Amino acid sequence: MTRVLDAVPQPRARSASVEVVVVGGGVIGTAAAWQLARRGHEVVVLEKAELCHPRVSPHGAARVYRQGCTSPLHVKLAVESLQRWRELEHETGASLLTLTGGIDHGDPKRIAAVARTLAAHDVRHAWLDRDEAAARWPGMQFDGPVLHQPDSAGRLRADQAVAALTAAAMGRGATVRYSTPVEQIEVLGRDLAEVHTPGGSIRTRRVVLAAGAWTAGLVGDLVPLPPLQVTEEQPAVFPLVGGTPSVPTELRWPTFVHHTGPDDGWPGGVYGVGVPCAGVKVGFGGAGPRWDPDGTDPAPEQAQLSRLQDYVGEFLPGLDAGAPTRFRCAFVSTPDAEFLLERTGPLVVAAGFSGHGFKFATALGRMVSDLVGDPDPESRRAPASSR
């Protein structure tokens, strides 16, 4: 049965009972709900905001998908997630992931490590020299040799992806309640917890905490977590030089990662992805100021945008550096940039995706579902997490 309950605040009622409560309707919570519902679990997703509220991470039209990682674990997860994104497209009829090809350049040691991992997993790739690459992708300049991945990188339509995951979960019987903030979670036993919202409480066997930047505040001292650092990132979409964006042109841009950073005078590494009908989104990775998710919104940081414009002027002459459309959203990072995916008693925590969780979401949903269903352990870290 499919239900969406638009919650109106009500007096606290007696506890209802549901097998699994997922806190957070972002990409991770909805991916988990889809996998859980596929396996026949009874699932309710509680989301404090409306779908695609501007302050949550899914905001925006595009996210990078790529298998080019230095960690073998991440390559495997990216390969699995590609298959599951395709399953989701098949199940919902949505077109979500376009493989545009991807390129890496910059720090030679780092891209050599990416190439080695790709080779070990039989992912097709090739080296181009910088002039060859500049001729092939007019509008881009490169810092040394270029590692091209022709068919294992591309663009995810972020907002549509979360909408499709939600629809697929609901189509399999999950319930999604918007405007339903979880205020508190109580652990009552190894297989029992109670989740409190302004509209009432729910008793449940498992709680999946997929609350992004708000996860640490909700977990409190129920589970010892590593410190989660929240930064406010400000990527921007730059239109193509030459006026009206042309859909075919911007969508011919590969996704790209420039492995650079403070040693080269930039605040961080740089990523980019074409955005349909708008231009190319470019951002520094994890270079934003600290952000308190429960505090007031700071004014947008001008310095970050100025450096991004400098970067575009130097390396991406095909884009108009003077006409950015800025976005703001949160990176939630662990100290070692690995994912936080673990279960303690009835609680499964899925957070700290350190700026690269979106591409893996469909595989991470499967891993959350494994942790929820595992009947044995009191406490377990997901086997695929190398944290």
Question: Residues interacting with ligand FAD, by CB under 6 A?
Answer: 23-29, 46-49, 56-58, 63-64, 181-182, 210-214, 218, 233, 235, 271, 283, 329-331, 351, 353, 355-359
Cα separation of 180 and 167, whole Å? 18
Cα separation of 76 and 353, whole Å? 16
Closer CB to ligand FAD, 130 or 196, in the complex: 196
Min dist. Cβ of residue 14 to ligand FAD (A):
20
Closer CB to ligand FAD, 213 or 347, in the complex: 213
Closer CB to ligand FAD, 181 or 268, in the complex: 181
Min dist. Cβ of residue 31 to ligand FAD (A):
8
Closer CB to ligand FAD, 4 or 127, in the complex: 4
Min dist. Cβ of residue 250 to ligand FAD (A):
16
Cα separation of 279 and 298, whole Å? 27
Contacting residues for 135 by C-beta, under 8 A, at least 6 apart = none
Buried b (16+ CB within 10 A) or exposed e, 26-44: bbbbbbbbbbbbbeebbbb
Backbone CA torsion sign across 9, 10, 15, 17: negative
Min dist. Cβ of residue 244 to ligand FAD (A):
25
Min dist. Cβ of residue 134 to ligand FAD (A):
23
Kind of pairing between the strands at 347-351 and 200-209: parallel
Q: Tally the residues of the chain.
A: 387
Matching residue, tokens 């070990």: 120
Closer CB to ligand FAD, 145 or 211, in the complex: 211
Min dist. Cβ of residue 199 to ligand FAD (A):
12
Taking alpha carbons only, the member of 290, 251, 291 closest to residue 272 is 251
Min dist. Cβ of residue 376 to ligand FAD (A):
26
Min dist. Cβ of residue 107 to ligand FAD (A):
19
Closer CB to ligand FAD, 315 or 331, in the complex: 331
Buried b (16+ CB within 10 A) or exposed e, 202-226: bbbbbbbbbbbbbbbebbeebbebe
Residue 104 burial (CB count, 10 A): 26
Closer CB to ligand FAD, 133 or 161, in the complex: 161
Min dist. Cβ of residue 183 to ligand FAD (A):
7
Residue 370 burial (CB count, 10 A): 18
Closer CB to ligand FAD, 145 or 349, in the complex: 349
Closer CB to ligand FAD, 172 or 359, in the complex: 359
Closer CB to ligand FAD, 207 or 319, in the complex: 207
Contacting residues for 143 by C-beta, under 8 A, at least 6 apart = 105, 106, 130, 258, 260, 264, 315
Q: Which two tokens stand for residue 184?
A: 């508190």
| 62, 83, 94, 306 from 89: Cα distances, Å | 16, 10, 5, 38
Min dist. Cβ of residue 294 to ligand FAD (A):
10
Taking alpha carbons only, the member of 384, 371, 4 closest to residue 210 is 371
